[in-house]
Amino acid sequence: MKKKKLEKKKRTTVRERDWEANHEQAFSHDLVRHRRALSKLSETARATANAALPADFTPNATLISHSKKWAFVQTDAAGDAEASDLICLIDERLHEGDESLLAPGDRVFIEFEEDDAFVRGVAPRRTTLSRPAGEHDRIRRQVIAANIDLIVVVAAAAQPPFRPGLVDRFLIAAEIGGVESVLCLNKADLTDGEPAELQIYRDLGMRVCVTSCMDGRGLAELREMLSGRFSVFAGHSGVGKSSLLNTLDPALRVHTQEVSNQTLRGRHTTTASRLYELAGNVRVIDTPGIRTLGLWRVTPAESAYYFPEFAEAVWDCKYRNCTHTHEPGCAVKLAVAGGRIKESRYASYCRVRASLESEDNITPGRVKPIEEKLL
Ligand SMILES: Nc1nc2c(ncn2[C@@H]2O[C@H](COP(=O)(O)OP(=O)(O)OP(=O)(O)O)[C@@H](O)[C@H]2O)c(=O)[nH]1
Ligand SMILES: [Mg+2]
Ligand SMILES: [Zn+2]
């Protein structure tokens, strides 16, 4: 019994020290401390719980990271007060609608009550990187990052191997979210030359940056792309998203982990999206690696629209509702055969289209209402 007590005490000390050192896990560790504080909420805080939320508000902070109940924010500098990091409770009266209530990058309204701070409002988002939420989620659209200017699709030249399919999906998500995207091919030190597919993206007008955290190539160019902007790093696990952040600013000490020796895939090291502020007015949201990216509110018929190099050919297809997969007289397939459309992009189109048509990737926008299914 005595031994148990001692162990408990030791753990608490570690948590507090982590938080002060601002380690990656500090936020989640500190949640435990704050969960305990929850039971000790001030009288005023409990009294206001029944009042209405402010209808009109001016955001005064930016969301860095969050859990279900807690938000880690950076307050705006105002007057003499400098910007500062703060942990707040998320007001339970804030209503989660169809999409994520909070995402890193959100502009939020914080109110203080004695020693407690509360998130009491979330401003409409200027842009988002989103995907359909999982089948069992209460929300329909998961917002990965909010109010971003740039999506940096990070891929690896090797370990894990370069897979253009996810890049194509990010291009579509960027178009839907109204955000510019660039491609960062990291781990260039592991291969001679670059994957042939990179030229396809350059030809599509996408900026491509080839980097290595090991020999430092391309980092100046990446820094220049990020400078003065608000970006999100996204891509498969293990491609080096967090490592790039550490290389750009070693003081960040974001947690990273080697890829698995057996599968050469990442180990899903980053588990929650989080906003980082780097020197040179660079703000980046690091995100957990994903296997694939579902597409929000894209119908199969619309999918060709997101492959701009198809645009010219589609006019010449024999059928107006041609799916460009099996129809005779399809001008898109002809363009692929003639080399005017790259085979890998066409293959990507076919995969995107097939997944949008398949039962298990029904985008929420196309789900039939439950009542209809019951009839
Ligand atoms: N050779 C080489 N290895 C790299 C490079 N960048 C990152 N790595 C290694 O790749 C592994 C994975 O890096 P992470 O930064 O954890 O990858 P991540 O994309 O953040 O992965 P998740 O958080 O799981 O999504 C680490 O062992 C890094 O040291 C690079 O440019 N070259
Ligand atoms: Mg990571
Ligand atoms: Zn066609």
CB neighbour list of residue 301: distance below 8 Å, 6 or more residues apart: 321, 323
What is the domain count for the chain? 4
Residue 179 lies in a domain: yes
CATH number at residue 210: 3.40.50.300
pLDDT the model gives residue 35: 59
Residues 155 and 202 in one domain: yes
Minimum-distance ligand to the CA of 258? 1
Residue 67 lies in a domain: yes
Given a cut of 90, whether residue 282 has pLDDT beyond it is: yes
Q: Domain boundary at 78, 96, 124, which?
A: 124
Q: What is the DSSP letter of 78?
A: B
The larger pLDDT score, comparing residue 322 to residue 33, is at 322
Residue 152 lies in a domain: yes
CA 259 / ligand 2 centre spacing (Å): 11
Residues 242 and 170 in one domain: yes
Residue 216: what residue type? G
Residues 96 and 214 in one domain: no
Range of the domain at 366: 300-370
Q: What is the DSSP letter of 332?
A: H
Minimum-distance ligand to the CA of 184? 1
Given a cut of 70, whether residue 237 has pLDDT beyond it is: yes
195-209 per-position pLDDT tens digit: 888 988 898 889 999
Q: Ligand 1 atom 8: the closest Cα is on which residue?
A: 240
Residue 190 lies in a domain: yes
- Residues with CB under 5 Å of ion ligand 2 are 241-242, 269-270
Q: Domain boundary at 225, 256, 286, which?
A: 286
Q: Domain boundary at 226, 258, 286, which?
A: 286
Report d(CA 238, CA 101) in Å as an integer.
28
Residue 65 lies in a domain: yes
CATH number at residue 88: 2.40.50.140
Residues with CB under 6 A from ligand 1: 186-187, 189-190, 212-214, 237-243, 256-259, 266-270, 288-289
CA angle 207, 164, 323 (to 5 degrees): 105
Residues 307 and 248 in one domain: no
Q: Is the pTM of this model over 0.75?
A: yes
Residue 93 lies in a domain: yes
Residues 72 and 120 in one domain: yes
Residue 208 lies in a domain: yes
Read off the pLDDT band of 47 (50, 70, 90). low
